[in-house]
Amino acid sequence: MQKRTPPGSLASRGITVTTLTGAGVGRGSAVGPVLIMAEHLPAPEATPFTGDAAAEIERTLAALAETALELQATGERAGGEAKEVLESQALMAQDPAIADDVRDRIDGGVSGEYAVHEAFAQFQTMLTSLGGYMAERAADLGDVAQRVIANLRGVPVPGLPESDVPFVLVARDLAPADTALLDLTKVLAVVTSGGGPTSHTAILARSKGIPAVVGADGALGLVSGGVVIVDAAAGTIDSAPTDEAISAAQAAIAARAAAAAEPVTPGRLADGTAVPLLANVGSAADAASAIELGAEGVGLFRTEFLFLDAASAPTVESQEAQYRELFAAFSGKKVVVRVLDAGADKPLEFLTDDGEENPALGRRGLRALRAHEDILRDQLRALVEAADGTGVDLWVMAPMVADSEDGAYFTALARELGVRVAGVMVEVPSAALLAEQILDDADFISIGTNDLTQYTLAADRQLGTVANYQDPWHPAVLRLVGEAGRAGAATGKNVGVCGEAAADPLLAVVLVGLGVTTLSMSAAALADVRHELLGHTLAEAQELAAGVVASRTAAGARAKAAEIVAARRAADDAPEH
């Protein structure tokens, strides 16, 4: 068996590195050929063209025609809505007005690339000024121009690659739009060299159930077409896998598929202790898959996702309509709604202060809402109205709460406006340390381990370069979770976790051992977590937690947990005397 090596150390001594590491997103793994996402092309230079203009026109018109044919062929293969979009892009590439403009510009003394760039930009400006649907098509024009220029340069077309066979997508980073367009029948896994494990791009990949490793230094050096093994649970990419490694990975993939096919039961431990499993959602559209995958309710409704593009605060009526749609899908179930968490990685134009140097430490979450109480009041009113008559068990919580003064402000206002169950998120270390005081007022707490990790380790969750610190297995983070768990036990109140940590099956067991009573995660993770919980009693979860919090590092905590589980399995398998 080939020896695996961590990146960096051996490579510097001339030994081939076969394993890249990064932060894993999800629990899955994948085996397949790499396709590298081509980068956005730099704009062509405006230098005068001194070559043969007629030949340049011919070459450029041929690139336009070739692009149109490629777009049409891709549309045929894709089918559905993608076909319509790609066909309309093919028409743009064939537009006679654009061809005439390109011809005139080349005659005027510029290169084909520059003429295409300018001609498309002019049409883009025109469409944008028309507004509405036309303005939305402007971005499509920019995409067509990039394709034509790539054809002229003889380089790969920027954007998501196309392939007839399933592949592992490798990119510097993915824009949310790229993630939304991923063809799940083709993309086996995503590997990025940038991005952190709790960036919202990573969260989107998880919600689509695509295994991913982000912040994998050196990923762009992977060879297109080469077969790799991506292991999201381990956060590794094996770029030169042996046949044995491929067979083992394929067996693990099959075992995971079998766990996903297990009956969907309420979350519980081996001794029957109930641990309700809830879903994190960003819109009503997420409801159907969450219910199908066995979510017992919603543990985090990220309402700010609904308003990322809004220039002004949404009205009570428009909010009500959106909330009601989600609530209707969860009638009879608990739905925990978070009021707008604006700022830092999720700026909202109508709520976020411009120009903060450190927005993650600035006026975000509840701090922004306290400064705009009218917006908070409107949202609470809309939530109460929307829940009325839907049969939903509505819980409402505030993000980015620092202490019991923040918490008491929010719960008092929420109750004044008719919210029956009002709680707060524990995302700032101060709130974890003071959780018992917070629970004097709050009906519940929900730990946001993404931000709690960011603030405990002082590591920006969006920054790939510090992704190694963004690890919720870190004993410092887990000790804070333990504080919150103790506060819950002392007050008899609910302590949830709604950060990505809840989606890591073994870590989920540790969290329960630390006193967490409910777990909320991307629906795609529910089956794995449900399966893992069934393998541990509460006493075992507590033993695991005690071992883990005594560790010194996140890696040490993981290793300790694996050691305890392995020792337990060995004891279970030992013959009785």
How far, CA to CA in Å, does 289 sit from each of 207, 265, 281, 286, 377? 10, 16, 10, 6, 31
Token pair for 52: 């043969």
Rounded to a whole number of angstroms, the minimum distance from the CB of residue 454 to Mg ion is 8
CA 270/CA 536 separation, integer angstroms: 5
Residue 451 touches Mg ion, criterion: CB under 5 A: yes
List contacts with ligand PEP (CB under 6 A).
300, 302, 341, 427, 448-451, 498-499
Specify whether 200 is catalytic: yes
Give min distance, CB of 14 to Mg ion, in A: 44
For the chain, the 3-state helix, strand and coil shares in percent, each to the nearest 5, are 50, 15, 35
Of the residues 117, 200, 474, 536, which is catalytic?
A: 200
The length of the chain, given as a count of residues: 577
Compare residues 160 and 300 and give the one whose CB is closer to ligand PEP.
300
Distance CA 560, CA 507 (A): 12
Which of 40, 117, 474, 498 does the annotation list as catalytic?
498
Q: Does 448 bind Mg ion (CB under 5 A)?
A: yes
Number of residues that bind Mg ion (CB under 5 A): 3
Smaller CB distance to Mg ion: residue 22 or 448? Answer: 448
Name the residue with the smallest CB distance to Mg ion.
451
Tokens 């001794």 label which residue?
A: 271
Q: Toward Mg ion, which CB reaches closer, 446 or 551?
A: 446
Q: Is 345 in the site for Mg ion (CB under 5 A)?
A: no
SS3 294: coil
Strand partners, 298: 279, 335
Supply the minimum distance, in Å, between the C-beta of residue 449 and ligand PEP. Answer: 5
Write phi, then psi, for 169 (nearest 5 degrees): -85, 125
384 binds, among Mg ion, ligand PEP, none (CB under 5 to 8 A by kind): none
**Least distance in angstroms from the C-beta of 51 to Mg ion:** 56
Stretch that binds Mg ion, among 12-20, 280-288, 332-340, 440-448 (CB under 5 A): 440-448
Strands 212-214 and 421-426: unpaired
Least distance from Mg ion to the Cβ atom of residue 119, Å: 45
Shortest CB 336 distance to ligand PEP, Å: 11
Which part of the chain contacts Mg ion (CB under 5 A), choosing from 48-56, 78-86, 274-282, 445-453? 445-453
Nearer to ligand PEP, 340 or 376 (CB): 340
Nearest to ligand PEP of 267, 496 (CB atom): 496
Known active-site residue 498: yes
Q: Are strands 227-231 and 29-36 parallel, antiparallel or unpaired?
A: antiparallel
Interface segment toward Mg ion; rule CB under 5 A; list 96-104, 245-253, 311-319, 443-451 = 443-451
Q: Which is nearer to Mg ion, 282 or 448 (CB)?
A: 448
| DSSP secondary structure letters along 111-165 | -HHHHHHHHHHHHHHHHHHH-HHHHHHHHHHHHHHHHHHHHHHT-PPSBS---SS
Active site residues: 200, 498
Which residues contact Mg ion by CB under 5 A? 427, 448, 451
